[in-house]
Structure 1
Amino acid sequence: MPSPENPSAATEPAPTPAFGRTWRHDLAAPPPDLYGRPHADRFMRFLTRFGDAYAPAMGAPLLRRSPRRPPSRGRAPLVLAVTGHREIAEEVAELRLADPAGAALPAWQPGAHLRLTLPSGRERHYSLCGDPADRHEYRIAVRRIDGGGGGSLEVHRELHPGVRLTVRRPRNGFVFCAEPAVLLLAGGIGITPLLPMAREAARRGLDWHLVHAGRSAASMPYTAELLALDPARITLLAEGVPTGDQLLAKAAPGAAVYCCGPTPMLAAVQQALDASPAAALHFERFGAAPVRDGAPFTVRLADSGEELPVPADRSALDVLREARPGTPYSCHQGFCGTCQVRVVAGTPEHRDRRLTAGERAAGALLPCVSRAAAGETLVLEV
């Protein structure tokens, strides 16, 4: 959705090859804390740190971790082996991953994703689409994007059974809250995080419906698996570009909508939400969100002195990657930290939701989302 390289619901442009993760509730910006206040909740931060420090010693978790908080830095990543690789739809490969020694895997919940380090060193996020009850195998699905950043091509061509990968433990930025009535909207490969949600909704006996849109029936993965849950609760849209009204037509009064798909699909759903019976919208985005309230500024590379103009409507990361194609990246949304650089001089505008105040003060910057004021020059160590 993770990442995760993905198509649009009806056409296949070359989107940013990452699975970005954002959350919206009633079309508002994601709240910094539990209560939507503009600053982080210091008391809740203290409680979380207290629980992280003392729960292991007590032998049981005293406090539940926020699903949006990065995992503890002391937790080692997993080394998993590819146990299965098969094509499940046009240009879509399914991978199965397991511990080489057969040990049980860390638990996860619907909406969670994995961060894979590919053999090339690229890092990519992919949503888990298997059964959370299966602790011996993870399942992901990746659509091939020929004009992307190379991650999906590497998955399709090189990740065959026997290959071992370093994998970060499951994280969840798209939490399924299991409201009494839910509508699940998937565009193309966006079905991956929603399939476990549909399975969980069916298990709990919720009032649910899932709509899956794609450019063709052959390009839409997991159709048979969805219909096996309950064909009366599944709508497949394989022709044309659906409107927001069409996508929300199955929303029950007061339903929570979970949407994963390309930007045009999300925009259509947002625009149609107020006129629908639905009450809330949670979504996961393919790639980077459009730059808003941006101003042109300049990035200067500390090692060479080269100056790179950053337009108001583009990210510093995009500009950096044009100059230095090997610049690492993954989510394009300011949550994974893969693209982190150091500010040597200049005053940045931090727009990420990952770096701490201390990290920012030490010069850390995530150029995928963070910027600078008009006319400012940021000197960066890349």
Structure 2
Amino acid sequence: MTVVQQDSPPDSGFVMPLSGVTVLDFSQFLAGPACALRLGDLGARVIKVERPDGGDASRKLYLADLAFDQDSALFHAINRGKLSVAADLKDAGDLAKVRALIAKADVLIHNFRPGIMERLGLGWEALSALNPRLIYAGVSGYGPVGPWRDRPGQDLLVQSLSGIAWLSGDADGPPVPAGLSITDMMAGAQLAQGILALLVRRGVTGQGGRVDVSLIETAIDLQFEHLAVYLNRDGAMPARSAVANANLYLAAPYGLYATADGHLAIAMCPVDRLAAVIDCPALANFPSDRWFADRDAIKAVLRDHLATQATRYWLDRLEPAGIWAAPVNDWPAFTADPAFAALEPTQQVRAPDGAALTLTRCPIRVDGRILTNERAAPRLGADTALMEASDDR
């Protein structure tokens, strides 16, 4: 497998899909920068436009006090490979220089609250007149209209408002949010899809366009399976399982179960087939037309039975029988598995002083190639000279 370093010469004629595309990233924190990161992974040149007094707020958002090259490791994970110009958008001179960059850019990404870009003179109408080929991409918390329009767009709040947090947890327990910023990251992915679609359209028509996503609309879309059922059942609320809840609408045995030494996931499978494989006659007492209605009773039997043996004991029986099951790994177990290493899922980025930081890589393969970029995230304003150049390309 060939590893393509994005800042290296093309390999055997290979051209990165977004080679030659310039992206201006005005966003901070996660959703917008994650979108720009993915475009950079695909070959675009991404230039962060940051305020001089501190830049992107995630530069100082430390997780577990992990720092790298003057900033948080989190900042590098979201902004590796980018460039940085420092500009005060309220300063007329800096704003004029930024507009000159925009005039030659292909994509602009921002995550300001609705109305702020317009007040800065950087709204869609103004910039589409300046650069008719520009793809103008915005991500907000709650969209451009409605009573939530000006609320802070933060992932935990959106998970809570949208019902996502309520989906997890057993029936008698509290709601459980996802342990990742899923609406932020998925909103960034949705925005990248919209940008790529408009770049394709621009290749046909020559005209740019505008794409907008919000965290709340992303949260709604993430729930399309379950909401489709709810919206067509006269608003009848589904019930969470009292035992091993994992999906509102799936019958037993779907869920996570404690074993003698860990936990085991079991997905969709016939309960009578499972009963035979794990030698649990009590499961065979439930007829197939009751596997959903009696799911808590079935899961309770399964819970008690699986707790008697270790996870590996059960997998040695389930996997040869073709029953969908897996251990519930922590990160040490996951990363130690040979399957993890086989995917080459990590890469190193390097700071100007040569220090290295291990990060995950782009999950997309193009023409069978793994895409990586060894350049760390930029120091604040490291590339501000780009605003002084007569031709930033």
Q: Could you say whether these structures have the same fold, taking a TM-score greater than 0.5 normalized by the shorter chain as the test? A: no
Give the number of the structure whose residues are more often strand, by fraction: 1
Give the number of the structure whose residues are more often helix, by fraction: 2
TM-score range, shorter chain: under 0.3
Bigger Rg, structure 1 or 2: 2
Q: TM-score, normalised by structure 1?
A: 0.27
